[in-house]
Amino acid sequence: MRRFWLLITALLASTAAQAAVYPAPSDDSDLIGKTITVEAREADTFVALARRHNVGYRELRLANPDVDPWLPGAGTPVTLPTRYILPDADRRGLVLNIAEMRLYYFPPAGSQYHGKVITYPLGIGREGWDTPLGRTTITRTAADPTWTPPESIREEHAEAGDPLPRVVPPGPDNPLGRHALYLGFPAYLLHGTNKPAGIGLRVSHGCIRLYPEDIAALYSMIDPGTPVTIVNQPYKTGWHAGELYLEAHPPDADGKGRVDSYTPLVQSVINATRNRPDTPIDWELAESAGTRQHGMPEAIGGTRLTASD
């Protein structure tokens, strides 16, 4: 199994893409990037496509529900959901939205990337091991970190017949990968992984995983003291060119698209239009987007709707 993961890591790393870097939007806009379509190659899978284009596995599944993730087929169009509404949070430091499993970095003044937004897909805590929400900072950074598994994780592995040592040294068996950014939340950190196929899934014990090349790039830009905001926003709303957009992600931990209540969606729209109370909203479009939850921004109101009346 270890040799299998090493082979997968090496193969995927050879086609890994660079992070998405976008100009920071103006004060009256909340959208970055654009949605594009690519053609799958003969041997492609969604795991390979996700890493090549720097998106998460589930993002591809949501955007392409009718495509076989393990055998798309040569020439099959695959939508890359690479247009994003920025989360409703201060645009500084690191902003992580658990619902979409994505990180946004807003570099500070003095950085060569100031005025840009850099975004990466994430692997996050599975059900029962939720990643904590709130505000904190990066307390320290480490290259080639050692891992000291918490007792609860060691017990879990022992019960599964896969005992862990008390300390895991740097190397291919270290689940932290080559770089780690430690959070002010005790025992939580952003780190690489020796299993990159898990990016875009809920697979960790609460820590936040990035592709090895992404954490290496982020590590080179981040200093201790960088602010970190972690939110859970399955419904994001934002403005662009006078139109209101909605981006919906599955709100449940298993990611199966279950909608128990539209109240959070409605509240998100209300918050977005608080200073524009006369904005016309197409609630049928909003409900449709909230039901499909494909993770791509859709216009649900604003100037275009007014012009068509």
Strand residues in 18-167 grouped as ranges (E)? 20-23, 31-33, 36-39, 77-80, 83-85, 93-97, 102-106, 116-121, 124-125, 134-143
Tell me if 265 sits within 8 A of 290, measured CB to CB.
Answer: yes
- pLDDT recorded at residue 10: 41
Phi first, then psi, for residue 181 (nearest 5°) are: -120, 115
- pLDDT recorded at residue 121: 95
* Residue 265 tokens, joined: 């969606």
Task: Name the nearest CA neighbour of 125 among 160, 154, 96.
Answer: 96
**Any idea which residue has 């957009």 for tokens?**
245
Tell me if 122 sits within 8 A of 208, measured CB to CB.
Answer: yes
- pLDDT recorded at residue 102: 96
Residues of the chain with CATH 2.40.440.10: 88-231
Burial degree of 225 (CB within 10 A; 0-12, 13-18, 19+): exposed
User: In angstroms, rounded to a whole number, what is the distance separating the alpha carbons of residues 68 and 45?
Assistant: 8
Q: Is 226 helix (H, G, I), strand (E, B) or coil?
A: coil
Q: Long-range contact list for 67-70, CB < 8 A, 24+ apart?
A: 67/40, 69/45, 70/45, 70/46
Per-10-residue mean pLDDT, the chain, length 309: 39 51 91 96 94 94 96 96 96 95 96 95 73 93 83 66 71 86 90 88 75 95 96 95 94 55 87 90 92 94 65
- pLDDT recorded at residue 247: 97
Q: Supply the residues annotated as catalytic.
A: 191, 207
- pLDDT recorded at residue 27: 82
* Residue 242 tokens, joined: 């006078």
SS3 content of the chain, % helix, strand, coil (to 5): 25, 30, 50
| DSSP state, residue 72 | -
Say if strands 202-204 and 124-125 run parallel, antiparallel, or are unpaired.
Answer: parallel
- pLDDT recorded at residue 305: 61
- pLDDT recorded at residue 153: 66
- pLDDT recorded at residue 28: 85
User: In angstroms, rounded to a whole number, what is the distance separating the alpha carbons of residues 149 and 232?
Assistant: 26
Tell me if 229 sits within 8 A of 184, measured CB to CB.
Answer: no
Q: CATH: 2.40.440.10, 3.30.465.10, 3.40.50.10470, 3.40.50.2300. Which one for 88-231? A: 2.40.440.10
* Residue 266 tokens, joined: 């409605």
**Any idea which residue has 């850099």 for tokens?**
118
